[in-house]
């Protein structure tokens, strides 16, 4: 799901005290309203006019392109449904079995708490004072009990004409968009069964391990696209599995290896606008496939699908492939152009998690396609740059350049407190990596979590910084820091369309269970400020899956990313995030606290 990357940021504040903000800045704990202000924006700080000089192109920022051809296959959801009806697809992963004893303890915990509340049904939310940002249709997505124990959920949502695709670790489900009725659900790896052959010696976990899904809807072509990573662990000559932690930290080097670890991108595209029918599926290996493919973002342009990754092999590197979209949508063999060693030589830190844009109407043969990344804060603990990547002619002769953008300094965020428990209830805020990128007209929108000391008293918390990048001038034209003292804001995912921008994220603190929140702004709102925010789902209990996690230095895994998708019909936004239901699992159960996910339609209407 991702490597545990953090630096010590020695000399910088990483405070997590229960510092109270002023009354005017306090969160409302009502069911829905989080913050609402007029004129002055919400819980934020405007950062304007720090774009610096016009960026200069670097053409030596990657190796490639290297041309390869990749074949695919076709599956039909009806066939999978028939397999499920015959009991041919199991419901529990061999990698994360659940014992009967654990199940009995879980049932006892539920009995002690009373019956678990039923899944909240889809409904229209009517508020007496909705404000400009409103939650409309909402319903639960796939929940932890249905995912075979994958933590975190890594939820994504793609909204089409009438259907929602919800992808997470390790399931993919199809919902009726408005009623919330779940029409189909399959194990994530089953989607790519035709293109994942069993390796010599068998799958290390008994089945393919597919994780870190992304889901997008291509509004230009009316197709769904789902991508993920397949990882097959290496095996030593002693028969021991080389796990991902050893790969990430380079600890397996020198061992006698009988089968090296390998990873692949996997990508699936719906054959029509109806996700319940056929899908064309592909498995794409990196050029040097000995290591771990991790945290693989997905982007869509007018002519191509773009996949990037953090690759942990002999050396860490960022790689990317561009794939002919028309060929994939027709189920044909696809030409891929691979770039390796992506690195901005002028940035302040290390190139990490390059996010390809969602820009399905542009970025074709004669137009530029965009990617962006923040620096991993090493060796500089407070980088002052982002990198804008530009790719042209993706199908015939792709060319990749990078531009260094000046921004205000940012530092690695501290872990986030949550209500309940003790001093071991911190959750991971995922560092300074950007979560996604969305192009709206000539503006590229993105956001990440940073460390921020609101009162200057040395007690910093996680806060969200968002950016609007003007791609024509290659500069940041506005940005803002969003949050408040004493409370953590983190894991922001951005959606932008027709001048409206929303940010799905999480909020928690010593007095607040982890909330699923959406904030947003319209184009005519004052620069550098967000207009409104709303709680989509309150957390209902303390989240703690045990296993020695939860300290500031070793926090609990939470969401890794949230999901946002613009509705192709209404122009509203669909979001998904996980939350902790009102269920507590005792430590002796040796089973993780469950999470639920919540899908919601939000709009920002004046």
- Point out the residues of the chain with pLDDT beneath 70: 1-59, 88-131, 149-150, 243-255, 421-424, 546-548, 586-591, 606
- Identify whether the C-beta of residue 148 lies closer than 8 Å to the C-beta of residue 96: yes
Residue 245: the pLDDT is 65
Report the distance separating Cα 150 and Cα 205, nearest Å. 14
352 and 386 in contact (C-beta within 8 Å)? no
- What local confidence, expressed as pLDDT, does residue 186 receive? 92
CB 332 within 8 A of CB 74: no
Percent helix, strand and coil across the chain, each to the nearest 5: 10, 40, 50
Q: What pLDDT is recorded for position 6?
A: 28
Q: Which helix (H) or strand (E) holds 438?
A: strand 434-440
SS3 384: coil
Long-range contact pairs involving 586-591 (C-beta distance under 8 Å, separation at least 24): 586/105, 586/109, 587/546, 588/105, 589/102, 589/105, 589/106, 589/109, 590/99, 590/102, 590/546, 591/98, 591/102, 591/105, 591/106
Residue with tokens 């050396």: 315
For 258, half-sphere exposure in the C-beta direction (CA atoms, 13 angstrom radius) is 12
b/e map 353-380, b = 16+ CB within 10 Å: bbbbbbbbebbbeeebbbbbbbbbbbeb
Q: Which residues contact 194 (CB under 8 A, 6 or more apart)?
A: 73, 74, 75, 281
CA 137 to chain centre: 22
Distance in angstroms between the alpha carbons of the first and the last residue of the chain: 39
Dist CA 564 CA 422 (whole Å): 33
DSSP characters over 291-310: SEEES--EEE-SSEEEEEEE
From the CB of residue 118, how many other CB atoms can be counted at a distance below 10 Å?
A: 7
Q: Are 55 and 405 in contact (CB under 8 A)?
A: yes
DSSP 349: S
Cα separation, 324 vs 269, whole angstroms: 12
Q: Quote the tokens at residue 183.
A: 């029409």
Altogether, the residues listed in the chain come to a count of: 606
Helix (H, G, I), strand (E, B), or coil: what is residue 162?
A: coil
Q: Domain segments of the chain: what residues?
A: 23-604
How far, CA to CA in Å, does 487 sit from each of 70, 470, 605? 47, 31, 28
32 conformational bin, left if phi > 0, alpha if psi -120 to 50, beta if neither: alpha
Query: Could you tell me if 212 and 1 are in contact, meaning their C-beta atoms sit under 8 angstroms apart?
Result: yes
CA–CA separation, 202 vs 222, rounded Å? Answer: 38
Q: How far apart are the C-alpha atoms of 223 and 226, rounded to whole Å?
A: 10
Q: What is the DSSP letter of 59?
A: S
């Amino acid at each position: 799901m991702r490597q545990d990357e953090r630096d010590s940021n020695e000399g910088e504040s990483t405070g997590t005290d229960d510092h109270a903000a002023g009354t005017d800045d306090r969160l409302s704990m009502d069911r829905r309203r989080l913050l609402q202000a007029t004129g002055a924006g919400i819980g934020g700080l405007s950062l304007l006019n720090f774009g610096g000089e016009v960026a200069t192109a670097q053409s030596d920022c990657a190796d490639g392109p290297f041309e390869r051809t990749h074949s695919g296959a076709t599956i039909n959801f009806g066939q999978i449904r028939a397999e499920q009806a015959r009991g041919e697809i199991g419901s529990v992963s061999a990698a994360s079995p659940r014992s009967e004893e654990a199940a009995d303890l879980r049932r006892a915990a539920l009995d002690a708490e009373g019956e678990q509340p039923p899944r909240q049904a889809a409904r229209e939310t009517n508020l007496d004072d909705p404000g400009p940002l409103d939650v409309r249709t909402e319903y639960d997505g796939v929940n932890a009990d249905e995912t075979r124990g994958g933590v975190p959920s890594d939820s994504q949502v793609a909204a089409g004409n009438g259907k929602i695709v919800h992808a997470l670790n390790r399931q993919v489900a199809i919902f009726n968009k408005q009623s919330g009725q779940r029409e189909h659900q399959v194990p994530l790896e089953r989607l790519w069964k035709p293109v994942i052959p069993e390796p010599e010696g068998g799958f290390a976990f008994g089945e393919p391990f597919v994780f870190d899904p992304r889901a997008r809807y291509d509004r230009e072509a009316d197709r769904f696209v789902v991508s993920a990573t397949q990882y097959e662990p290496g095996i030593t000559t002693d028969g021991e599995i080389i796990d991902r932690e050893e790969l990430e930290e380079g600890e397996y080097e020198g061992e006698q290896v009988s089968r090296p670890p390998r990873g692949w991108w996997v990508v699936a595209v719906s054959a029509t606008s109806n996700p319940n029918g056929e899908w064309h599926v592909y498995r794409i290996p990196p050029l040097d496939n000995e290591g771990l493919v991790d945290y693989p973002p997905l982007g869509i342009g007018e002519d191509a699908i773009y996949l990037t990754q953090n690759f942990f092999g002999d050396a860490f590197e960022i790689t990317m492939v561009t794939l002919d979209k028309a060929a994939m949508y027709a189920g044909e063999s696809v030409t891929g152009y691979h770039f390796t060693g992506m690195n901005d030589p002028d940035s302040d830190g290390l190139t990490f998690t390059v996010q390809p844009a969602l820009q399905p109407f542009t970025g074709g043969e004669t137009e530029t396609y965009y990617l962006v990344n923040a620096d991993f804060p090493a060796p500089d603990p407070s980088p002052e740059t982002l990198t804008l990547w530009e790719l042209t002619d993706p199908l015939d002769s792709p060319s990749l350049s990078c531009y260094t953008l000046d921004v205000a300094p940012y530092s690695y965020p501290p872990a986030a407190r949550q209500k309940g428990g003790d001093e071991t209830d911190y959750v991971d805020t995922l560092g300074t990596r950007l979560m996604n990128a969305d192009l709206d007209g000539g503006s590229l929108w993105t956001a990440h979590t940073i460390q921020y000391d609101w009162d200057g008293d040395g007690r910093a918390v996680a806060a969200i910084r968002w950016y609007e990048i003007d791609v024509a001038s290659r500069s940041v034209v506005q940005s803002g820091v969003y949050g408040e003292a004493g409370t953590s804001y983190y894991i922001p995912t951005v959606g932008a369309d027709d001048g409206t921008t929303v940010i799905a994220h999480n909020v928690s603190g010593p007095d607040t269970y982890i909330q699923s929140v959406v904030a947003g702004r319209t184009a005519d709102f004052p620069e550098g400020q967000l207009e409104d925010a709303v709680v989509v789902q309150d957390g209902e209990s303390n989240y703690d899956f045990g296993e020695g996690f939860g300290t500031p230095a070793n926090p609990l895994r939470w969401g890794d990313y949230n999901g946002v998708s613009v509705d192709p019909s209404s122009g509203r936004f669909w979001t998904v995030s996980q939350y902790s239901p009102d269920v507590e699992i005792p430590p002796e159960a040796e089973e993780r606290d469950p999470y639920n996910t919540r899908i919601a339609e939000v709009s920002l209407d004046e």
